[in-house]
Amino acid sequence: MDLAFRTLVDYVSRESGIDLHQYRESYLKRRIELRMKMLGVRDFGEYLRLIKADGEDEVKKLINTITINVTEFMRDRTPFEYLMKVILPEIASRKRRVNSNIVRFWSAGCSCGEEPYSLAICALEALGDGWMISIYATDIDDACLEMAREGFYKPTQLKNLSRALINKYFDREGDGYRVKSFLKRYVRFKKHDLTTDEPVSRYLDVVFCRNVMIYFSENQKAKAVNDFYNALIAGGYLVIGKSETLPAGFKSRFECVNLREKVYRKITDST
């Protein structure tokens, strides 16, 4: 560990009460550099000065960045139940009226794939046969994307799934489960930075961006939400994390359809 990095890790561990030394050094470096990139900071020394000047707030944001890959299949359960019971049936009836059978999703900040594969499972379960389902799954973290493409998970990641769903969509392998190849084909993984890159696609029906924007600045949040707005079709849905809020200024562009599940719908003049 170089000195500036060690001083930074010691300082943040002391201030946050979370012992960062427990993490692998390469992982820790990657996450801290990610946060530095978002702030436009070039080296660990400069970042430590910024943390000391900013205080508690930046320490919290860094901790969030470090613990950020935490996820699981159907995280929080109820937003996925709402997707299956309310959102997808509404989309299906709207599409049938215009003779379309394509439903497009974007899992923005997909971590190691649990969310986009959950979306694929929900879509297959709720829509049944005859639909073309396409799921874009993006993340800034290469290592996560690699694991997502592998599609191999520990049993704890699957604890929100019923035995029937596990049997249908996973193969048992060693001490874990591998996503079946037919399910993988619905999901396309791509590296993408929500704070700088253009949206991955247009004409989307549903965007899930959950537990990603929590540590974005207001400007970065506004940029991402503006991209979601442009990427969605009229009446398309945006689902964010339970503890998250849309940035100010989006009230006229998204209506809240379920506050508890944090589900919003794109409003246009024609909606």
Ligand X SMILES: C[S@@+](CC[C@H](N)C(=O)[O-])C[C@H]1O[C@@H](n2cnc3c(N)ncnc32)[C@H](O)[C@@H]1O
Report whether 198 contacts 204 (CB < 8 A). Answer: no
- 139 counts as catalytic: yes
Q: What does the alpha-carbon distance between residue 76 and residue 119 come to, in Å, rounded to a whole number? A: 13
Interface map 91-110 toward ligand X (x if CB under 6 A): ------------------x-
Question: Considering only 120-128, 133-141, 157-165, 232-240, which stretch makes contact with ligand X by CB under 6 A?
Answer: 133-141
Can residue 35 be called a binding residue for ligand X (CB under 6 A)? no
Interface map 216-245 toward ligand X (x if CB under 6 A): ------------------------------
Contact positions with ligand X (CB under 6 A) in 180-209: 192-195
Least Cβ distance, residue 174 to ligand X (angstroms): 24
Question: From residue 62, how far is each of 7, 32, 153 by CA, in Å?
Answer: 15, 7, 26
Least Cβ distance, residue 163 to ligand X (angstroms): 22
Q: What does the alpha-carbon distance between residue 248 and residue 92 come to, in Å, rounded to a whole number? A: 31
Question: Considering only 13-21, 64-72, 98-106, 254-262, which stretch makes contact with ligand X by CB under 6 A?
Answer: 64-72
Report whether 187 contacts 117 (CB < 8 A). Answer: yes
What contacts 24+ positions apart, CB below 8 Å, involve 31-39?
Answer: 31/65, 31/66, 31/68, 32/5, 32/8, 32/62, 32/65, 32/66, 34/65, 34/140, 34/141, 35/61, 35/62, 35/65, 35/215, 38/195, 38/216, 38/217, 38/220
Can residue 71 be called a binding residue for ligand X (CB under 6 A)? yes
Q: Of residues 139, 141, 205, 227, which has the active-site annotation? A: 139
Q: What does the alpha-carbon distance between residue 73 and residue 10 come to, in Å, rounded to a whole number? A: 34
One residue of 12, 73, 83, 141 binding ligand X per CB under 6 A: 141
- 129 counts as catalytic: no
Question: Considering only 4-12, 20-28, 69-77, 161-169, which stretch makes contact with ligand X by CB under 6 A?
Answer: 69-77
Nearer Cβ to ligand X (61/253) = 61
Can residue 139 be called a binding residue for ligand X (CB under 6 A)? yes
Can residue 165 be called a binding residue for ligand X (CB under 6 A)? no
Q: Of residues 31, 75, 104, 265, which has the active-site annotation? A: 31
Question: From residue 39, how far is each of 12, 24, 62, 148, 159 by CA, in Å?
Answer: 17, 23, 11, 27, 36
Can residue 75 be called a binding residue for ligand X (CB under 6 A)? yes
Q: Which helix (H) or strand (E) holds 205?
A: strand 204-209
One residue of 123, 126, 211, 247 binding ligand X per CB under 6 A: 211
Q: Which residues are catalytic?
A: 31, 139
Q: Which residues are at the interface with ligand X (CB under 6 A)?
A: 68-71, 75, 109, 111, 115, 139-141, 144, 192-195, 210-212
